[in-house]
A and B are shown apart, each in its own frame.
Chain A
Amino acid sequence: GAVVSQHPSRVICKSGTSVKIECRSLDFQATTMFWYRQFPKQSLMLMATSNEGSKATYEQGVEKDKFLINHASLTLSTLTVTSAHPEDSSFYICSARGLDSNSYEQYFGPGTRLTVT
């Protein structure tokens, strides 16, 4: 089956610094990638949708200048949390939908746990 990886799996950073999270589709080309955030004991919340080569579409309430998304190739999307604060500490999960895969499946990465101190 299709595999999506994320790097790093966990990261700790200091308040005010920026953190980049990578999402890669390993064995398929992803025209669309999605970024989710999950706080403890809560469900996944969609943050943004990115299409290769174009600007991401952010969900209401998600600051696009704080959460920078780049989808520069069909196998890589990055999420950069700028000027991170402790309230940004969360589990960030990406998912990808392929070029020619069956339209129903969306493949999820293993997640990145961000802790801002």
Chain B
Amino acid sequence: DAKTTQPPSMDCAEGRAANLPCNHSTISGNEYVYWYRQIHSQGPQYIIHGLKNNETNEMASLIITEDRKSSTLILPHATLRDTAVYYCIVRADNNNDMRFGAGTRLTVKP
């Protein structure tokens, strides 16, 4: 059973912000929201994670709604190299499993 819902694909213009949404309406109180991305024929790359506060690192920002039922990954200035499949995953911190849904295929266009 899918724990997250993401749009299958999105386009973004180079240099603009890419906002990738994720719905996780059944998230439990002890579950974190993780984002990974996978560039074609490579292993997934960790981007960011959060519990309930918004988070920012050198790659992206993660905005989590107050009810925690959805979140948005923001790539502030998308480049062509950001073209990838982006996966939103919810996982309890004490749970070893990282299970992937279908993800969003982001295409950054010049």
A residues lining the B interface (CB < 8 Å): 4, 6, 32, 34, 36, 43-46, 49, 91, 93, 95, 97, 103-111, 113
Within 8 A of A (CB), among B51-98: 87, 93-94, 96-98
Q: Is the interface of A mostly helix, strand, loop or mixed?
A: strand
Q: How far is the CA of A36 from the CA of B42 in the complex (A)?
A: 13
Residues of B contacting A110 with CB < 8 Å?
42-43
**B102 an interface residue at 8 Å Cβ cutoff?**
yes
**26 A/B residue pairs, CB under 8 Å, sorted by A:** A4-B43, A32-B96, A34-B96, A36-B100, A43-B87, A43-B100, A43-B102, A44-B44, A46-B97, A46-B99, A91-B41, A93-B44, A95-B98, A97-B96, A103-B93, A103-B94, A104-B34, A104-B93, A105-B46, A108-B36, A108-B44, A108-B45, A108-B46, A110-B43, A111-B41, A113-B41
List the count of A-B residue pairs having beta carbons below 8 Å apart: 51
Residues of A within 8 A of B97 (CB): 34, 46, 49
